[in-house]
Structure 1
């Protein structure tokens, strides 16, 4: 059995982590007190528990409501820099080697920042976090994914912003928010633009909504990856555990090696999976899907990459070879250029698991 100490030491790759879902409770409380943002509770410890309790409702809509308070304290240049810096520091402390952190610039304009102001602020914070991690002897490579909210109408604008910054730390684009009633096809103009610009994008799909959401994300929009995608299990017949049968969509996703950004704890919180022990990741990994492990929202799930890995080790008996497979899967699926991905796999990930 892999020990928690071994899990803490091995390098990790994180593809699905929300900047506004990983703010430290102490930071939320501190900025809220300074800016006058009203919180449900003021004590940082109680606040952290409030986020976890509010997110553990089985409802994606209720889960998303918690972001009113994290986004609310990320409205100025200095506060965005701080949150971004602390994000990188926390990931580095958890042994994350590479991370694609997503966030929605359009949600941070209440105090007069422009879209470019917000991206520059997060970039500055990331650079500070990398420098601080290096000072402590840790290596971390953070990148931004710019998200558009699927219930709004700014996706093309955000896609253009992502392309304009793709040589300055932004590696991709995403749409997020409640899936039901807001299909990805509402944003086809953004996805068509990204295709023309040879840009990468992922789409939140197959979390709260089922197979139609996944099908649209892939076949209509051409997503490189699926944000969550956990409901692809609905197209896998497991009535005979010894011989699962894949439906046409599931087979396509597996055979095309479309990465699944699975977030075990978050998927349980939102009702997309019944429990960690019954999470579809076990079946999907065994069937050879391009499975990756992610945190989604570290604050709301009170989690980290080490904790997510530990939960899966306990539930499925995974060993270090399995964790390395998940990590290499993630690095292969990242939006970095191929040579940079390969270098991190050969020079950092494989040696890091040889313990």
Structure 2
């Protein structure tokens, strides 16, 4: 009798567990169905927005995600004749070759120097311009200034380089002609290595600083105007309002853009550097971008060039993660 009671109890317990398990499975299935239904409702309601976003999604899929498989070339002795599947796998050989190459330190120094100069001098300029434009009361004058400083963004780097050659050329540049007329000696602005990094930074500021003000002006427009009125009541002048209201209002935007800029620290602009490079300044102008073009495209070392690209991406990713954690540590929102 006792054994029969034990068997009956165990069977009842197993049945209850089975019922509970089936109930939980039905509950999970119901949640999944409810999520799918909600997604269908959202897609149906916002279908035009998804259609509008479709070109951007296709762009990232085709040009950003599909090419990821090409990173495997870094571990192969890739040959276009043998193809991806027929090329020999060599492991980390090209990584070792790249990091032991005597040019590595030179490339790293030039790339980091140009990037740090851009962060130190180019990055703050759009912020300063935005603050100055925000203080202009005449809307007509403000729009005129914005249009003027936006225009260089729409010029290609070929045109920018041509303008620099016309203005700074040693033999027939406008500035050197003025210097010669005043009795001085022509200065090699384009061939002197000491001027090269500063010249690239000045070009970037002139071309892109105006365009960079768009995001900051949008952030300034979102600041609550009641804060300015409260500051005026407390006796704050325009300078104190800028320090205590305006800058704190756009601080999060500045931090996010700075984090994103750190992610591009290894990207200094191939076209700009390549157009301004010449033999006298090659030892300060050669960066990872130009090195990839020279070794990968001109010399056909595709696997080796892929290693350089991976290195740049890894450094950018690490800087973004560290900068984001640092921002979070100090109480800021960060990038994610």
**Category of TM-score, reference length = shorter chain:** under 0.3
Name the TM-score, length of structure 1 as normaliser.
0.26
Name the TM-score, length of structure 2 as normaliser.
0.27
Name the structure with the higher helix share: 2
